[in-house]
Chain A
Amino acid sequence: MVSAQKGQVRVITGNATGAYGAMLCRPDVIAAYPITPQSEIAEQLAQFKADGVIDSEFVEVEGENSAMNVVLAASVAGGRVFTATSSYGLVFMYDALQETSGFRAPVVMVNANRETPGIHAVSSGQQDMISARDAGWVQIITENDQEILDQIIMAYMLAEDNDILLPVMVNYDGFYLSYLAEAVEIYQIEDVDKFLAPLKKQSPRQKLVPGVSQGCGTHGMEMGYVEARYKHTQAMERVKNKVDEIDKKFGDYFGRYYGGQIEEYRTDDADIIIIASGSATGTARTVIDAKREQGIKVGLIKLRLFRPFPAERLIQALKGKKAIGVIDRSICFGWKYGPICMELKVLTQELGSVPILSYIDGLANLDITIPHIGRVVDEVNEAAKGKPYQDVTWIPMEE
């Protein structure tokens, strides 16, 4: 495969990018229900349909639960499908989310991250995605509009791979990226066809066909249930390398690489590492550069893959580092650490007794600012020198 032709560059929002990403992958069935801050995707896809840009079946469902059920069934029948949601919408489809992964349906969904139930919050935060982390989905976090588009294409490549067959959730910070217009290269649809063509060369996946004696979603008989769960977790494990492979293929063809499971920035010679995800990583890079100039040997890891958790890549990148700071844009009930930090702490045995500092920031549309991340770097740097440190810090509560 040679490289793709130059695409058309347009200045569009993250939401519109989500719709363009879906359009380029030619889904058979789309179902979407509007919710702030995702509504523009549903609108844009409906407009594509109205303008004849897409010929997908477009189902204007009466709720998110139905959106997920519609695409789940169409996927089980053999179709390529797309949906998008956010926040309470994701929560409302929770039973269907579990069915989708349990049925091993390669559904691709975009989720514009927003705070979730408990306290009503029409604001950004990763709590929705975190609340669905045990639903059996692959969860990927993107940083900017271009990455949303690219990741949707890569998500189909991942979800529909016969070695994987799992639903993939492409996340981006709601409000921040939803409404942020950036220059995005929209590839030629023929090039996306070519990139996704290897999927068609696989042996066809199992489909639900009328007149054929077979069922989907049958009651799991004792060992049948165990076997299905075992295979599901095995597929999850395979996702990790597959994400790296697809990233390489995508970069070779379209010219953009994202590092696969994680992106490392100035980590090679770093003593300390900051881990962040989503739109805040742009700010974090700026801080890393500034701190480097001050002589602090700090590096950044952008967490792209959250489920499955990229343990091996993280161990490789973090081994021998003197201290780690993790910035979470969500909370974890029952643990004081942020969710990503909590997951990282599972790797304590491999990483040794290195200080891991948890920072909660950016909840409910509060910005993760340059001074915030600067403070994180300074505190992690002090901890690396053996000074006492606070293991969890809610940055906005201390301002």
Chain B
Amino acid sequence: MVETTKKRNRVFNYFCQDEQFAGGVAWCAGCPMELIARLTPKVLGKNMIFVGTPGCAAPVLHGQNIGAWHRMAYLASVMTGVPSKATGLSRYYNRIGQDATVVCFTGDGCATDVGFQPLSGAAERQEKFIYLAYDNEGYMNTGNQRSSATQIGAATTTTPVGKIGKGKSNAQKNMPMIMLMHKPTYMATATVSHLEDFIKKLQKAKEKSKEGFVYLHLFSPCPVGWRIDSSKVIEVCREAVRTNYFPLWEAENGKPRITVNVANPKPILEFTKLMRKYSHLKEDGLAELQKQVDERYALLKTLVNAGT
């Protein structure tokens, strides 16, 4: 009991800024993205400016047939223009000496698919802002269609399971690794089951975004699309870390470092059994998924070891 209180205080100590969102907002019950969105300005301060797109975040970040549900400045964009708009903002604010933390807040569909080109361009130019991608592995706002962040075997409405169909046939695009190869000033993966880890990374992101490009890849399982019980979402995040499905790491100037070590990773079934997204997978499907997870982790490990 004592230990729990101590831990809680430690996390809450990071929240030096006011809550910027309304008490009740139009996001689904149990959505980790809501936590991500709420926590971000609490850590970064109210001089942050959101650049967002149509997507799960849109109804609250810029309103959808209603006003926005927060009191920060924001610039809404179509999905092709987010990092470029952030570039325009940060360049101009820097020029006039305006204190600003420009944060792109998009889903994986924008980051890995249709909005990837400008993201890659801004990273290469080391533009001074934070790109935060909440990864729910698909187009959840439009009803659970696949994106290139959808993992192999996953059932979505455009990779359905049927007589022939076995879910998504290609492996997930390894987005954090792709961004690492851009050598951003700072990048990290994080999720809401490991709050202190996430918040420390947000703090570092703010500091490092004064020097160059910052990319944050945040695991955000979708209770609706993945068919997870709303009360189990944090557990899913935790199991994703413990199975190495979503390892937590960071990299400064292209040098990766694992921030949460998992001594004995659990088999992938411990993660997949918590949702219906993978419930159709038989032994071979699970083996294929395990292989993808292991391969990705091995690659990360190799790079981590090479850097030290």
Contacts and interface: CB of A to CB of B under 8 A. Distances in A.
Interface stretch (B24-32, B46-54, B153-161, B290-298): B46-54
Interface string B49-69: 101000000100011111110
A208 interface: yes
B166 to A, nearest CB: 35
B45 to A, nearest CB: 9
Contact of A95 (B49, B62, B80, B93): B80
Contacts of B101: 210
Interface in A84-115: 95-96, 99
Contacts of B46: 210-211
A316 interface: no
A332 B142 CA distance: 35
A208 B73 contact: yes
A198 interface: no
Contacts of A212: 73
Interface string B136-161: 00000000000000000000000000
Nearest to B91: A57
B95 A76 contact: no
Given A208-B49, A210-B47, A216 B74 contact: yes
B194 interface: no
B65 A216 contact: no
Contact of B88 (A29, A209, A211, A219): A29
Contacts of B210: none
A78 interface: yes
Nearest to A78: B92
A288 interface: no
B77 A99 contact: yes
A210 to B, nearest CB: 4
Contacts of B98: 209-210
Contact of B78 (A57, A62, A99, A211): A99
Given A66-B81, A211-B46, A217 B75 contact: yes
B87 A70 contact: yes
Given A29-B91, A62-B121, A217-B77, A69 B85 contact: yes
Contacts of B283: none
Interface of A is mostly: mixed
A203 interface: no
Nearest to B53: A217
B279 interface: no
Contacts of B91: 29, 57, 59, 70, 74
A29 B92 CA distance: 7
A111 to B, nearest CB: 19
Contact of B84 (A28, A66, A78): A66
B121 A211 contact: no
A397 to B, nearest CB: 38
A63 interface: yes
Contacts of A208: 49, 73, 75, 89
A59 B92 contact: no
Nearest to B94: A57
A61 B84 contact: yes
Given A31-B88, A69-B118, A73-B88, A213 B75 contact: no
Nearest to A80: B92
A59 B89 contact: no
A77 B89 contact: yes
B81 A65 contact: yes
A72 B76 CA distance: 12
Given A29-B92, A72-B88, A73-B87, A65 B73 contact: no
A96 B76 CA distance: 12
A60 B73 CA distance: 26
A73 B89 contact: yes
A46 to B, nearest CB: 14
A96 B80 contact: yes
A28 B98 CA distance: 14
Contacts of A77: 88-89, 92-93
B251 to A, nearest CB: 22
B81 A69 contact: yes
A212 B85 CA distance: 18
Interface string A170-192: 00000000000000000000000
A156 B276 CA distance: 57
Contacts of A74: 88-89, 91-92
Nearest to B45: A211
23 contacts: A59-B125, A61-B121, A62-B121, A65-B81, A65-B118, A66-B121, A69-B77, A72-B81, A73-B89, A74-B88, A76-B75, A78-B92, A79-B96, A99-B77, A210-B49, A210-B93, A211-B47, A216-B74, A216-B76, A217-B77, A219-B62, A219-B63, A221-B63
Closest 6 pairs between A and B when the two form their complex, measured CB to CB: A73-B88, A62-B121, A69-B84, A217-B76, A69-B81, A74-B88
Given A59-B91, A210-B93, 15 more contacts: A66-B87, A69-B88, A71-B88, A73-B84, A73-B85, A73-B92, A79-B95, A81-B88, A96-B78, A96-B80, A99-B77, A211-B46, A211-B47, A217-B76, A219-B58
Interface of A: 28-29, 31, 57, 59-63, 65-79, 81, 95-96, 99, 208-219, 221-222
